[in-house]
Structure 1
Amino acid sequence: MLRSMYAGISGMQGSQTKLDVIGNNIANVNTSGFKKGRVTFQDMMSQTTSGAQGPTDTRGGVNPNQVGLGSKQGTIDNIQTQGFLETTENPLDLAIEGDGMFQVEEGEAQGDGAPYYTRAGNFYLDDEGDIINPDGYYLTGEATVESAAQDGNVTEGDIIRLTIPDEAQSFSIQSNGIVNYVDAEGGTQEAGQIVLANFSNPAGLEKAGNNLFLDSPNAGYNDLVPPETAGTGSLVSGTLEMSNVDLAEEFTEMITAQRAFQANTRIITTSDEILQELVNLKR
């Protein structure tokens, strides 16, 4: 009876954790670049009342008798599936169609700050023409042959900040990450190329809030590469990748978690009634 009560408690705790994750998923159904969470569970250690016995010449084998002691949280996974693309017609709204993540960072110069990674591609221009995210972190790019020729301080492949000059008449971003702008004379120039961070296990990234992720020892960071290379996806300008949360699925999971919570409370109630009957035996 006491075992069943503790098993019920562990089931209630697991159901509550699942409801917490589901609630966070539903709250972020309209969050750009959000990746939903998923809870998995494992059974806890079982108490063996009698062990297994192998067959003999005169007797068959006997299976072990074990009583489970409840469940425990196994993992809380970040499901890194593609979210649907919403058209915005804003050239600084970028979606990644495929694998890879944008890298953003802060600091006086490129490379000074700790890098963050994100799938949310709603970028803006600051008063100096730098491409930044909503928190003011600079989008990471690299110098191309043409942009390096314009700026003698960098060479091709150097990590740079992507800047659109004030005198630019217009700009565009290609699917391979090249940032072009039309200068004051009407000529087309390159400001650089957006690069994407490539991870072998993006589910291993740690959420840092504000649509940002941090690298972890299990994320499998490979390198910063241009889009459409080394297995990374292509960029779609004028669109945003929305959350990959499926409301119908979340509501279904919420109902099952609620019923599981109720069933575990019933286990505790029933065990308590049996204990009460035992207490009443001596009356």
Structure 2
Amino acid sequence: MTGSMYASVAGLRAHMQKLSVIGNNVANVNTQGYKKQRTMFRDSVYSLYSSGGNGTSTVGGINPSQIGYGSMVGSIDLNMSSASYNPGSPMDCALVGDGFFLVGDKTVADSIDGNNPASLKSLTLTRVGDFQFKADGYLCDGKGNVVYGFMTTGVDEEGKPIVSDQLVPIRKPHWERVPTKETVEDPDNPDKEITRDTYKYEIRYATDKTGPAADGGAATVGKLDDQKKPLHPSNWVNKSTGATMTEDQVKADPDAVADLDFAEFSNITINQDTGAIVGICREGDQQIVMGYLAIGSVTNPNGVTHSGESYYKCQDGAGDLRVCMLGGVQKDLGITNVNSYMVQAEADPDNPAAGNQKPLPPGTAILSTGGTEIMVGFLEAPNVDLAEEISELITTQRGYQANTRIITVTDSMLEELVNMKR
């Protein structure tokens, strides 16, 4: 008699959990980048009332008789599909297709190892690209987490950017006033020229740390220092007195050196084809490529774990986290270091001829984004369909009410049974 009550209580619990999921979806109907959840019910345990039979030569078979004890929540799924996009600020970015932006604090870079793809899981994933350069020069999202990508560490002889192959926080480069000389007309004698001391502005990118290369020698791995000290003696200034410092004075008291300023940029844009962050340096009036956005790709996008505030983690169920660049731009940048977690193959030591390569171990990151693109100036809208959620709310309410009715009826029948005893 009371089996119906147990089943209804289980049904009430399951419907209440579904109601919580629906409520969360509706609450985030205007949350940028939110991905809705779906509750899947499963029937609960059964007791065997009578077993079945296959039949004999004289009688037919019978089906097993079982009594169930309600329903339960089988899973709460995450739907990572995209819906629509809303206009935003000029540096806002929205992902089209699978993938995530990579963010974290400034110290996460120290734990990332290019030879260990599992170390990438210390990064946080997000679909919300509300990016801005903050006062400390770092590119951050709206919550202050720094955005990870690939920094420009210099330019070659043709003026093309040299990009690090290691994943680091993106930030503005520094600028430096470098002493130089120029030849000008002598104001006292127009027929003569004189040479005078002047200066020019030069961009100084963050310096690289060095690490082991594939051949055992030293190689640039591109993890960027904070670089609070100037790179040129002309900028060795005592931050307390303002006096110029010599090299010996700097070595004796390095903390006395004034910090180098970040360069001032105007018209900062993000290239939607390559993810390049480009700005015009005001001091030198030159276009500078500061770095490139990195895109994270997981084996199972619907398996990522919510960590709150539109952030996710690549934990159990999501598979491997891999890093890629938009549009295959790393090929044009010449990023082929075997220590990089973006390369797919390394030279065969038995036959180092060009083009003869062997695959890297499983888990090594991919080279392309698999069709993922970004829209600059937009933010991804939530994929919650309010009409669908309201209809689910109504059916959930009716299911809950029906289960309460079963409990009421069962209680009434038990009351009649007690009255019979009296």
RMSD between aligned residues = 1.8
2:153 to 142, 145, 148: 148
For 2:388, the equivalent position in structure 1 comes to 249
Cα distance in 1, alignment partners of residues 103 and 296 from structure 2 = 10
Is 1:129 aligned with 2:137?
yes
Structure 2 counterpart of 1:219, which letter? A
CA offset at residue 87 of structure 1? 1.1
1:103 paired residue number: 102
Q: Is the 8 A contact 1:196 1:225 kept in 2?
A: yes
For 1:183, the equivalent position in structure 2 comes to 281
Gap runs ≥5 in structure 2? 113-121, 157-161, 174-262, 328-367
Structure (1 or 2) with the larger CA radius of gyration:
2
Hey, what's the Cα distance between the residues in 2 that align with 1:107 and 1:180? 22
Q: 1-side partners of 2:99 and 2:110: how far apart?
A: 19
CA contact (8 A) 1:31 1:242 kept: yes
Amino acid at match of 1:263: A
Query: For residues 27-69 of structure 1, what are the alpha-carbon distances to aligned partners after superposition, in whole Å with 9 as ceiling and x for unaligned?
Result: 1111111111111111112111111101211111111111111
Match of 2:292?
Answer: 193
Asked if residue 221 in structure 1 is aligned to residue 360 in structure 2, the reply is no
Aligned pairs (5 A) from 1:17-166? 17-88=17-88, 90-108=89-107, 110-112=109-111, 114-143=122-151, 147-150=152-155, 156-165=164-173, 166=263
Aligned to 1:263: 402
Q: CA deviation at 1:234?
A: 0.7
The 1:172–1:24 alpha-carbon spacing in structure 2 relative to 1, beyond 3 Å, is same
TM-score by length of 1: 0.92
**SS at structure 2 position matched to 1:213:** strand
- For residue 406 of structure 2, give the secondary structure of its aligned residue in structure 1: helix
Which structure 1 segments of 5+ residues have no match? none
Aligned to 2:186: none
Identity of aligned pairs, percent?
35
Task: Give SS of 1:32's match.
Answer: coil
Shift of 1:155: 5.4
| TM-score, normalised with respect to structure 2 | 0.63
1:14 aligned onto 2:14: yes
CA contact (8 A) 2:150 2:163 kept: no
- Equivalent-residue separation in structure 1 for 2:20 and 2:145 (angstroms): 30
Mapped contact 1:198–1:222 kept (Cα < 8 A): yes
